[in-house]
Amino acid sequence: KRRVINETTAITKIYDEELARQQMSQTAAAIMPSSYEANSGLNRARRKMTPVLPTSYAFDIPAQYQVTINDVQFVLCDKTLHNKRLLLFGTDQQLTFLFSAKHIMMDGTFDTCPPYFDQVYT
């Protein structure tokens, strides 16, 4: 349960890894719930630790979500101007790759945009 709360790894993967670490007998392993059966309770525990979705564009990004799993800064820009918010995500290494690229492909979408934002550009 602790790993499910603290990691972003898929719950079924964590469950299977933890079962394997226990080195149970075949009989004990046979009576354990499957990862599918355990998923709902573990998913509930993870959701309790996940911040609620914002109700406006004026929200703070918790510190743990501003960095990668390797503790590298991920939020490059977070600015609001004229009631419009701009969020840029990436790492310095990704910027280095971007600026050294010969060709850059980009795409903007409005259809899958989170609430309170107008466009997602990738």
- 91-99: average pLDDT: 95
The domain limits of the chain are: 2-49, 63-121
Predicted local confidence at residue 32, as pLDDT: 86
Confidence category of residue 112, pLDDT binned at 50, 70, 90:
confident
Number of neighbouring beta carbons within 10 Å of residue 119 = 9
3-class DSSP state of 84? strand
Task: DSSP letter for 73, please.
Answer: B
Q: What is the DSSP string of 49-67?
A: HSPPPPSSS--PPPGGGSB
Residue 6 near residue 26 (C-beta atoms within 8 A): no
